[in-house]
Amino acid sequence: MERPSSGEEGEGDSPNETRISPETAAAEADDSVPYIGQRFLTHEAAYELYSGFAKQCGFSIRRHRTEGKDGVGKGLTRRYFVCHRAGNTPAKPFDDGAKQQRNRKSSRCGCQAYLRIGRDAGAGGLEWRVTGFSNYHNHELLRQDEVRFLPAYRVISESDRDRILVFAKSGITVQQMMRIMELEKCVQPGSLPFTEKDVRNLIQSFRRFEQEEESVDLLQMCRNVKEKDPNFKYDFTKDANNCVENIAWSYASSIQSYEVFGDAVVFDTIHRLTSIDMTLGIWIGMNNHGMPCFFSCVLLREGNLQSFTWALQVFLNFMNRKAPQTILTDQNMYLKEAVQKELPNTKHALSIGLIASRFLSWFNAVLGRHYNDWENEFYRLHNMESTMDFDLGWSDMVSCYGLHGNRHIASLFASRKLWASPYLRGHFLAGLAALPGISKIKDFIQRLLSAQTCLSCFIEQVAVVVDYKDQAGEQQIVQQNSENTILKTAAPVEGHAAAVFTPYAFYKLQDELVEAAHYAYFHVEGNAFLVRHHTKTDGGCNVTWNQKEELLSCSCQMFESSGILCRHALRVLTTLNYSQIPDHYLPVRWHRTQPQPSKSLIGAPDHGRSYERVKALQSMVSVLVSEAGKSEERMDLATQEVSVLLSRIRQQPVVANVSGDGVHQQR
């Protein structure tokens, strides 16, 4: 490329319009720097070179104006490219009759940097030539680690676009998408050529084409299930555009489970179905075998007070207006306000499992290699018995890890009465706040989330997951009942508990009974006892025992929190030579009750040959679950095949002799 002298001027140009900055003159040998007389085959080639130069300098450019000076119809003869901060944007006029618009602060400040090119006939035909260039700016230029955030340089390639849309359909979050693509491209976090906002905008634009169709699909899915299962419940709202805004549903077996195990529930709202841009709310409890049980699902377009209020109202309607004793949720101000309004007599607590899911993003960068040690210390504090010990331990933890002033630590401490075990004693939690329970719930939710990979039958796929958990619970009961329960003490109350409780609940009580042997008791006066570990000389728990009414009470409030008697109360009972635990302290929710019927078996006749076929099918299902549970590969195959079979079964008409007046449930 021939480089003319810096004094060359284009036709009709004045010297004042062709200023060259000192930076440009110093870098004249670099072809990436524009110069007067530089030629290009197309105006786009000139734009690309100027854009690359701008990015190196710390600004971006835009197309400004075009001119055709050789007469009408002669075509384009001159183009201007300017700094993105050129010009000044006037405020938008306010019109009372029009929709109010936001007056955003403009970045334009009248910068005069520009590149002008003119059309010329060169040796190789029509070409474009640089006729004016100024690189003087009236604002600071950005550093290289900042300039990439300018909109002009935040570009999502076609391949990245396709990858993002695949991720969106699979249901992973935008943060997870960014991390995966950073790992795939081997770049540092935050170094992709686009931001999370760009990804969200792309997904949102993609959804606009499918939103109406998907909304209709959600409603149709519920209608289809309702036709096949009259006991299925759903409710919904629509927006001004007649699109589904909120939709909730529950299954017959879930409503039955809630009757027994709905005393404590988790309402998980931290997940979002990216494929339809809706928040997924999942209601979960804990059954008598310590396994998660599903109650209901809700999809919300907006996570605001109105949506959460509607979700709570509909859930209560599904569950025959029976409110839980305790509800555990995420930290959400709108949800907190909705719970206070709709569940005034329910204890609202924060789920430590939902809170802890954010720990990595909150503290990993701050704590570095000390993160794991801090996490262990956090859970140790969380499980303390005394509120005073918790507060003192928290202060020591903050000092030890240098977390003074950390806003997340400050927020956690301010809300400690809603999540820390010492402050929640006396409120029934059914094991939902314990680490094993949290882990099981996370696994269960992941199975539910995987159902959205087939959005066209999402609601039916959730039913398959729920059915699988019901069947797995039945198999667990059969297996546990066939095992010989091992007694560890000579106390008669242990054998009594083993006969009444499920193995899950019994082993929890057995642990307390074993520990009770290491505690001493002191009769204070009347019905009052002091119980403490035999190695301690002070402290302990106060136990009261009303023999006439067989009422026990311990200051540790373990029974009120879990439904399992504590070691202190058991120490008093064994000392008084009780052979059985009073009925008050054998909650029905922990009994060895017969399993609730799976909804696919509701309506089975209790007579003749059909009943035997149902029992045979139950036996086959138990064997299926047992065999599938031996490996992940078997489990995946069984889940896939059962899903297909269940869909085929639901397409079959319901025969009268299995759904009439002569039908009753097997208990």
Which residues share a beta bridge with 563? none
- Give the model confidence (pLDDT) of 2-58 as tens digits: 343 333 344 444 434 444 444 444 444 455 789 988 888 888 888 889 988 998 888
> Has residue 656 got a pLDDT over 50?
no
What is d(CA 145, CA 391) in angstroms, rounded to the nearest whole number?
A: 42
- Give the model confidence (pLDDT) of 267-293 as tens digits: 999 888 766 778 889 999 999 988 888
Confidence of residue 264 (pLDDT cuts 50, 70, 90): very high
Res 418: pLDDT: 93
Instruction: Give, in order, the Cα–Cα distances in Å from 57 to each of 60, 116, 149, 632.
Output: 9, 18, 14, 55
- Give the model confidence (pLDDT) of 573-598 as tens digits: 998 888 889 988 999 999 986 444 44
The answer to whether residues 192 and 182 touch, using CB atoms and an 8 Å cutoff, is yes
- Give the model confidence (pLDDT) of 357-371 as tens digits: 889 889 988 898 899
Could you tell me what percent of the chain has a pLDDT over 90?
31
The model scores a pTM over 0.75: no
- Give the model confidence (pLDDT) of 380-418 as tens digits: 999 888 899 999 999 999 999 999 989 999 999 999 999
Res 630: pLDDT: 66
Quickly list DSSP for 567-587. HHHHHHHHHTT-SS--GGGS-
Res 108: pLDDT: 82
Instruction: Give, in order, the Cα–Cα distances in Å from 574 to each of 520, 521, 528, 579.
Output: 12, 11, 15, 8
Residues 6+ apart with CB under 8 A from 243: 211, 212, 215
Q: Among residues 279, 213, 269, 212, which one has the least CA distance to residue 246?
A: 279
Buried b (16+ CB within 10 A) or exposed e, 381-419: bbebeeeeebbebbeebbeebebeebeebeebeeebebb
Instruction: Give, in order, the Cα–Cα distances in Å from 130 to each of 47, 49, 544, 587.
Output: 11, 12, 95, 87
The answer to whether residues 429 and 261 touch, using CB atoms and an 8 Å cutoff, is no
Res 361: pLDDT: 85
The answer to whether residues 604 and 660 touch, using CB atoms and an 8 Å cutoff, is no
Longest dimension (CA), the chain: 114
What is d(CA 55, CA 77) in angstroms, rounded to the nearest whole number?
A: 26
Angle formed by the axes of helices 458-482 and 608-628, to 10°? Answer: 90
